Structure 1
Amino acid sequence: MADQSRQQRTEDTAPRTRYRAGDIVLYRDAEKFWTGRSGHTTVCKVERSWTNVNSGARMYDLIDVTTKHHLTGHPDYMRLLPPVDAMHDIDTAPLSEPDVGAMSAAAVAWLRQALRTDTGQPKVPAAD
């Protein structure tokens, strides 16, 4: 009975999502994870989805963004990495602060890119 309850809780909390080409996901290799091997969790880009003809399961072709290795992922072991999380430091950068050091490096890089003129020179004055 306890095992059935635990299984139901797991099923209830697992996200039911379909991924699109171009999505950035966290992928966990379940076999490596459960056997204690390193390298079990990687950031990947979704290339395409397809249906396994034997099991009927939706599967995904992934590319590890660090190594460029191709992987096949089952959606139970994938989680979307939302763009809002990746952009949080830029979205919440203290733009009214005179001290550029108060902003994260990513926010400063984004601002410099956004403020470039046609000549490629930054418009933001250099910090004293």
Structure 2
Amino acid sequence: MAQQPQTQAVRPKTAYTKGDMVLFRDAERFWLGLPGHTFVGRVERSWRHAHTGKVLYDLVELSGNRHRAGIDPDYMRLLPPADAMRDIDAAPLSEPDPGAMTPAAVAWLRQHLAQDAAALPVLR
């Protein structure tokens, strides 16, 4: 019987920049089954470890505004803006019931309608 080749997850090679939103998992807490192991953070800075030469990151945890230093990028994933804005981009604008739209889409529409009410076409 032929042995099946083992598959591995491919780790993305990403350089994060200040202001990027990322998902971070504290591997130690995760493997110990402890709560609070995964959070969303904003990249504040990057720096190179003096002994290993590995690039590490300092993050601000968005849920608690806590600073986390020396984060290994192997446990970070970029949160693309397109994912955060998908509900607005896909809002059912022709839907007669505004409640069918997500709250983010409604908030965006209200903001832009209030700013640019004069530019709206006249309803017939």
Which TM-score band applies after superposition, normalised by the shorter structure? 0.7 to 0.9
SS at match of 1:116: helix
- If the length of structure 2 is used for normalisation, what is the TM-score? 0.84
Aligned to 2:114: 116
Q: Quote the offset at 1:58 in angstroms.
A: 0.4
Q: 4+ residue runs of structure 1 moved beyond 2 angstroms?
A: none
SS at match of 1:114: helix
How many residues align? The count is 115
**Partner of residue 68 from structure 2, selected from 64, 67, 71:** 71
Q: Quote the offset at 1:102 in angstroms.
A: 1.6
Q: Quote the offset at 1:99 in angstroms.
A: 1.6
Unaligned runs of 5+ in 2: none
**Partner of residue 105 from structure 2, selected from 90, 107, 110:** 107
Q: Quote the offset at 1:52 in angstroms.
A: 0.3
**Partner of residue 24 from structure 1, selected from 21, 28, 33:** 21
Letter aligned with residue 33 of structure 1: F
Aligned to 1:96: 94
Q: Quote the offset at 1:87 in angstroms.
A: 0.3
**Aligned sequence identity (%):** 55
Q: Quote the offset at 1:117 in angstroms.
A: 3.5
